[in-house]
């Protein structure tokens, strides 16, 4: 990945696609991203930090912590990834990794069950990342897909079937703005060279991506159409290969589907931030989604350890904060080449599952409660609500003062989810609650009836 800001403006041509956010998406809270491709074979990147925290973009791309960008990073002269590639693989062609990608341990149903227990309401796998390898037999790819080579399976179909059987929504990620194979360019070394004027912008590539996205829509009817890095500008205007025609096909097949904001200057149903980059769009002008990996990479990175990975409680805190501000969290896992989720990633999801088993009602179908309570960081307190209830999500134990308007909730109704009553008394700025420990799984949730 690596996002660049899209204009919040919709052109008049695309105004007809504007519609209210579907309730299933607005109340989802958590989605799961899956980045899986030939890059899971080398599974190597430098964990230098989260996107948005490294100011020097040339340094960022040369030392890219995104393992899914391996194809790009090994082509940058002087990059440590290039040196690693020469030492570990003798400078082998990138497509050798497609043939070495086995997926022999992959169990889509087991994945879907884990995601469901973690509290996810939708799942979005990469169907084509920037390396151009597709996880289904996409038109125009010949044998450069997972049906013909490597896993020799339609991984998109397997994931879609398992996700839906688990009662979750299925979406697709598609790299619309970059394809290093079918539309080759020199390696990207900064955001001015490769993510802008140097990105593929010809009609041939626009037609190529159009045919593949239409095929995804026709075959899999995804509820989320998630593009990345924009589109050729020739596809933004009227044509038979335009984004407009893609959206027509999408909303006709999936009327309650949603589209993100990386399809060029066209249309979006929700904005996206990525790690710390683009955070300025969060909570401004409609629905939004924060996406990130458990570690600093989306693709599986064997170099990463516990020091760079979210724990379960840390993921819970992030989820709570995002939902309390009106967004969804799209948390990524990157399976290895065999199709296994690493122990660190699995521990994070199991931590979410433990907390959500008790407290999911404060997340699913909830919305910010800024009219009722005031968020705090000392102690950490966040607020959500439904029509019938208000939730104070509290990091701590003992007597904690909550800044709120007590006339908008019923203080005597306070109860700790999964733990009996929470004793409440009046305070100058709201109420004081006496809560028990969350047991190490994350914050405690105190539920009030809404007044």
Both 297 and 396 in one domain: the answer is no
Q: Are residues 323 and 178 in the same domain?
A: yes
pTM of the model: 0.96
Per-residue pLDDT, 199: 75
Domain final position from 362, 385, 403: 362
Q: Are residues 121 and 198 in the same domain?
A: yes
**pLDDT(7) > 70:** no
Q: What is the pLDDT of residue 441?
A: 78
CATH code where residue 375 lies = 2.60.40
What pLDDT, on the 0 to 100 scale, is given for residue 445?
96
Q: pLDDT (tens digit, 9 = 90+) per residue, 196-205?
A: 666 788 999 9
Residues 77 and 199 both lie in one domain: yes
Confidence class for position 191, pLDDT limits 50, 70, 90: confident
Grade residue 9 by pLDDT with cuts at 50, 70 and 90: low
For residues 239 and 248, the answer to whether their CB atoms sit within 8 Å is no
Please report whether residue 117 resides in a domain. Answer: yes
Give phi and psi for 404, each to the nearest 5.
-160, 170
Is residue 2, in this structure, part of any structural domain at all?
Answer: no
pLDDT band, residue 128 (cuts 50/70/90): very high
Percent of the chain with pLDDT over 70: 96
Residue from 319, 61, 331, 71 nearest 185 by CA:
71
Chosen domain end from 346, 362, 378? 362
Contacts of 429 (CB under 8 A, 6+ apart): 401, 403, 404
Distance CA 265, CA 176 (A): 13
Q: Which pLDDT belongs to residue 14? A: 93
Kindly state whether residues 433 and 310 are assigned to the same domain.
no
How far apart CA 270 and CA 292 sit, in angstroms, is 16
Indicate the pLDDT class of residue 423, thresholds 50, 70 and 90: confident
Q: How far apart are CA 441 and CA 428, in angstroms?
A: 31
Mean pLDDT score, 217-224: 98
Q: How far apart are CA 24 and CA 21, in angstroms?
A: 8
Q: How many domains does the chain have?
A: 2
Query: Chain-wide mean pLDDT for the chain?
Result: 94
Per-residue b or e along 244-270, where b marks 16 or more CB atoms closer than 10 Å to that residue's CB: bbbbebbbeebeebbbbbbbbbbbbbb
Establish if 258 belongs to a structural domain. Answer: yes
Q: What percent of the chain has pLDDT over 90?
A: 88
Q: Which CATH number fits the domain that encloses residue 76?
A: 3.20.20.80
pLDDT of residue 197: 61
Would you state the pLDDT for residue 428? 82
- Average pLDDT value for residue range 242-264: 97
Residue 261: what pLDDT?
95
Shared domain check, 98 and 240: yes
Q: For residue range 225-250, what is the model confidence (pLDDT) as tens digits?
A: 999 999 999 999 999 999 999 999 99
Q: Do 181 and 295 have their domain in common?
A: yes
Say how many CA atoms lie within 13 Å of 159 toward its Cβ. 30
User: In this model, does residue 397 exceed pLDDT 60?
Assistant: yes
Residue 5 or 144, more confident: 144
- Reply yes or no on whether the pLDDT at 286 is more than 70: yes
Q: Are residues 344 and 413 in the same domain?
A: no
3-state secondary structure (DSSP) of residue 251: helix
Are residues 374 and 231 located together in one domain of the fold?
A: no
332 by DSSP, 3-state: which?
Answer: strand
Query: pLDDT tens digits, residue range 139-151?
Result: 999 999 999 999 9
Based on the fold, state whether residues 117 and 197 are members of the same structural domain.
Answer: yes
228, part of any domain: yes
Could you give the CA distance from residue 368 to residue 33 in angstroms, rounded to a whole number? 24
Inform me whether the pLDDT recorded for 6 exceeds 60.
no
What's the pLDDT score for residue 419? 82
- The pLDDT tens digits for 28-76 are 999 999 999 999 999 999 999 999 999 999 999 999 999 999 999 999 9
Q: Does 323 share its domain with 207?
A: yes
* Residues 253, 292 contacting (CB under 8 angstroms): no
Residue 405 is part of which domain span? 369-450
Which of 362, 387, 415 terminates a domain? The answer is: 362
Residue 6 lies in a domain: no
Answer yes or no: is 419 within a domain: yes
**379 lies in some domain:** yes
Same domain for 324 and 387, yes or no, is: no
- Domain assignment of residue 445, yes or no: yes
């Amino acid at each position: 990945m690596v996002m660049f800001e899209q204009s919040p403006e919709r052109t008049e041509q695309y105004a007809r696609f504007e519609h209210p956010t579907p309730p299933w998406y607005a109340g989802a809270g958590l989605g799961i991203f899956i980045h899986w491709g030939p890059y899971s074979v080398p599974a190597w990147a430098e964990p230098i930090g989260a996107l948005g925290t490294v100011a020097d973009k040339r340094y960022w791309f040369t030392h890219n912590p995104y393992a899914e960008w391996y194809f790009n990073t090994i082509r940058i002269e002087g990059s440590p990834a290039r040196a690693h590639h020469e030492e570990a693989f003798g400078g082998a062609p990138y497509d050798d990794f497609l043939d070495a990608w086995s997926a022999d341990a992959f169990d889509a149903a087991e994945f879907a069950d884990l995601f469901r227990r973690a509290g996810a309401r939708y799942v979005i796998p990469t169907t084509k990342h920037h390396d151009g390898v597709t996880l289904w037999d996409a038109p125009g790819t010949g044998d450069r897909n997972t049906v013909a080579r490597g896993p020799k399976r339609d991984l998109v179909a397997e994931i879609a079937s398992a996700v839906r059987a688990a009662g979750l929504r299925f979406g697709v990620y598609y790299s619309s703005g970059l394809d290093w194979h079918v539309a080759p360019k020199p390696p990207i070394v900064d955001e001015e060279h490769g993510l802008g004027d140097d990105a593929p912008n010809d009609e041939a590539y626009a037609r190529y991506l159009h045919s593949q996205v239409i095929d995804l829509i026709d075959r899999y009817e995804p509820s989320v159409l998630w593009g990345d890095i924009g589109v050729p500008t020739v596809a933004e205007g009227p044509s038979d290969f335009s984004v407009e025609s893609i959206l027509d096909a999408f909303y006709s097949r999936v009327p309650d589907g949603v589209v993100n904001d990386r399809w060029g200057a066209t249309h979006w149903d929700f904005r996206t931030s990525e790690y710390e980059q683009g955070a300025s769009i969060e909570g401004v002008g409609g629905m939004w989604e924060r996406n990130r990996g458990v570690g600093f990479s989306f693709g599986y990175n064997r170099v990463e350890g516990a020091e760079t990975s979210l724990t379960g409680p840390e993921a819970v805190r992030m989820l709570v904060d995002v939902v309390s501000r009106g967004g969804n969290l799209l948390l990524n896992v990157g399976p290895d080449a065999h199709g296994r989720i690493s122990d660190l990633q699995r521990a994070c999801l199991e931590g979410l599952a433990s907390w959500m088993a008790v407290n999911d009602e404060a997340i699913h179908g909830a919305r910010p409660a800024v009219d009722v309570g005031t968020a705090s960081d000392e102690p950490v307190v966040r607020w959500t609500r439904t029509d019938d209830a208000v939730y104070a999500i509290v990091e701590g134990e003992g007597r904690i003062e909550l800044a709120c308007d007590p006339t908008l909730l019923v203080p005597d109704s306070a109860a700790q989810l999964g733990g009996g009553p929470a004793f409440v008394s009046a305070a100058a700025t709201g109420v004081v609650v006496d809560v028990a420990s969350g047991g190490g799984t994350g914050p405690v949730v105190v539920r009030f009836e809404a007044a």
